A and B are shown apart, each in its own frame.
Chain A
Amino acid sequence: MSMDENNRPLSPHLQIYRWQLHMVMSILHRATGVALGLGTIFLTWWLMALAAGPSAYETFTTVASSMVGQIILFGFSYGLFYHLLNGIRHLYWDAGQGFEPATVRLTGQLIMVISFAATVGTWLAAYYLLGTL
Chain B
Amino acid sequence: MAMQTKSGQSGAGDATKHWWTLRLTAVALVPLAVWFVASLVALAGADYPTMIAWVSNPFVTVLLLSMLVSLFYHLRLGLQEIVEDYVHARRAKIVLSVALTFGCFLLAMATIAAVLKIAIGS
Contacts and interface: CB of A to CB of B under 8 A. Distances in A.
B82 A30 contact: yes
B79 A129 contact: no
A116 interface: no
A63 B31 CA distance: 28
Given A50-B114, A51-B117, A84 B52 contact: no
A88 interface: yes
A47 B78 contact: no
Interface residues of B, number: 31
Interface of A: 30, 33-34, 36-37, 40-41, 43-44, 47-48, 50-51, 54, 57-58, 77, 80, 84, 87-88, 90-91, 94, 122, 125-127, 129-131
A54 B48 contact: yes
21 contacts: A30-B82, A34-B79, A34-B82, A37-B75, A37-B78, A37-B79, A40-B75, A44-B107, A47-B118, A48-B110, A50-B51, A50-B114, A51-B113, A51-B117, A54-B48, A57-B51, A122-B37, A126-B40, A129-B42, A129-B45, A131-B45
Contacts, number: 75
